[in-house]
Structure 1
Amino acid sequence: MDINTLRTIVTVASFALFIGIVVWAWSRRRRGQFDEAAMLPFAEKEGVEASGERK
């Protein structure tokens, strides 16, 4: 096995991993979880006033 074969295998494996991540991220089953996580920065925390000071 020469270096070019190894590079080809790594390239194909990386592309397959990339496609897997894209499919996972755009999955309809995950949409609710991702929408909920996207709203976390806007959720109000208990005990924190608008000025940022704790009660």
Structure 2
Amino acid sequence: MDINLIRSLITLALFILFIVLIYQVYSKKNKRRYEDAANLVFKDGDERSNKLNQAESKVEDHD
């Protein structure tokens, strides 16, 4: 086999993989999962804020 044929096959395989990945990401059945993943940053921030507020209120209660 020629090296150029191998390179062409690898390029074709990666292009097909890219198309499958794009289809999976933008399919409607996975929309909810990706929206949940996108909002994890904000959820984590809220939990940390709540823990900090609880810790501050405990410190104020002891004073």
Interval containing the TM-score (normalised by the shorter chain)? 0.7 to 0.9
Stretches (4+) displaced over 6 A: none
Q: How many angstroms apart in 1 are the aligned matches of 2:4 and 2:42?
A: 49
Instruction: Give the TM-score of the pair, scaled to structure 1.
Output: 0.81
The answer for unaligned runs of 5 or more in structure 2 is 56-63
Q: Which is higher, the Rg of structure 1 or of structure 2? A: 2
Who is 1:41 aligned against?
41
Following TM superposition, by how much is the alpha carbon of 1:37 offset from its aligned partner in structure 2, in angstroms? Answer: 1.0
RMSD, aligned CA: 1.8
Could you report, residue by residue, the CA deviation over 1:10-52 in whole angstroms, capped at 9, with x for unpaired residues?
00000000001000000100001111111111112165226xx
Instruction: Give the TM-score of the pair, scaled to structure 2.
Output: 0.72
Percent identity between the two aligned chains: 31
